Amino acid sequence: MNELYIGLMSGTSIDGIDAALVDLSKPTPKLIASHYEKIPISLKQAIQALCHPGPDEINRMGEMDVLLGKQFATAVNTLLKKHNLNAKHIRAIGSHGQTIRHHPARHFTLQIGDPNVIAARTGITTVADFRRKDLALGGQGAPLVPAFHQAVFLKKNKNRIVLNMGGIANVTLFANGKILGFDTGPGNMLLDLWTEKHLQKPHDDQGAWAKQGVVHTELLTKMLADTFFKMPAPKSTGREYFNAAWLENFLIEKISAADVQATLTELTAKSIAAAIQSYVPRGEIFVCGGGAHNNFLMSRLQHSLPTFSVQTTTQLGIDPDWVEAIAFAWLAKQTLKKKSGNIPEVTGAKTAAILGGIYQ
């Protein structure tokens, strides 16, 4: 018997919403259908503005919470319509929401995209607000996907790393019978930001622009000296830290835009490599997220990790574009089954816990 769930994911790029319909009746999730709902540029800009302090924040947040909830619901309804599916056959939606603030050191995180609106407009039970229970238990509230990675990708007696290269990069490491997971720093975020500023494009297609540039060694060294990269796990980060202001702080001298892009690519590759090598000397790495499509970044990652094989999660049977959305469908199931969704060794929480609120 099928157990159909829908996972919704909107990442740090705020470009669109991934909606994945998943059959979770077996240990390995089966992606049945998917839909990408582009976020209108006006809504994207309004959300980006909320990621930083500004005037009239509470009113603006309340409005965006509802508008984004409607956008998530539209993504679900479009997915169902495209594939002639009935809402009554879906057990639940797992919605990550859109992070607008993540401050684990101050014990709070905030995701918007009202789950009440999603449930009301789709007629489907919606599970959301996954992160705050972990924070309440002393954890970082992130990353949460390692629990999913453990359930689906773990292979005993293998040093296996799952690397999610979204706006922020995070890793799940399985080695010596132990699991560890944390954010390593920027994934695509700074690359996309710089590309949008200079090429007026949302991303550097396959890293072609970065490939034209030359790494500025002094700039790279200064960026890699940032204290975040030296922090031990558990740790998490986001747009609040790695943003335009962070980058501009390092751009004191005149460097060509292409050279900056090449240097930012190397920053992502080197920071990920250093994080992995500090715990595991060799093994196999499976990449998911948008960064899996950046051929130049993938090649620099392999260059920085010569004792590892670097592939995508396609080799494990799951499309790299849909791993995170599938993970939140899985987390919704965990919640409804009253099972934990976090791993204390990863987030630093005092105990494993059932995550999220249920909206019907």
Same domain for 19 and 86, yes or no, is yes
Same domain for 305 and 355, yes or no, is no
Element of type H or E holding 35: strand 30-38
Same domain for 10 and 92, yes or no, is yes
Over residues 5-27, the mean pLDDT reads: 94
Q: Is the peptide bond before 281 cis (omega within 30 degrees of 0)?
A: no
Same domain for 116 and 162, yes or no, is no
Same domain for 293 and 173, yes or no, is yes
143 closest CA partner among 188, 190, 96, 191? 96
Return the residue matching tokens 């007696």.
Answer: 157
Name the phi and psi angles at 91, rounded to 5.
Answer: -65, -45
User: Domain of 128?
Assistant: 4-142+322-359
Same domain for 211 and 89, yes or no, is no
Residue 119, pLDDT > 80, answer: yes
Quote the percentage of the chain above a pLDDT of 70: 100
Per-residue pLDDT of 330-350, as tens digits, reads: 999 999 999 999 999 999 999
Looking up residue 351, the CATH number of its domain turns out to be: 3.30.420.40
Per-residue pLDDT of 188-212, as tens digits, reads: 999 999 999 999 999 999 999 999 9
Cβ pair 144, 331 in contact under 8 A: yes
pLDDT at 1: 67
pLDDT at 108: 93
Residue 2, pLDDT > 80, answer: no
Task: Look at the chain and count its residues.
Answer: 360
Mean pLDDT of the chain: 95
Domain count, the chain: 2
Per-residue pLDDT of 222-262, as tens digits, reads: 999 999 999 999 999 999 999 999 999 999 889 999 999 99
pLDDT confidence band for 162 (50 / 70 / 90) = very high
Residue type at 48? Q
Per-residue pLDDT of 37-77, as tens digits, reads: 999 999 999 999 998 899 999 999 999 999 999 999 999 99
Same domain for 312 and 329, yes or no, is no
pLDDT at 161: 97
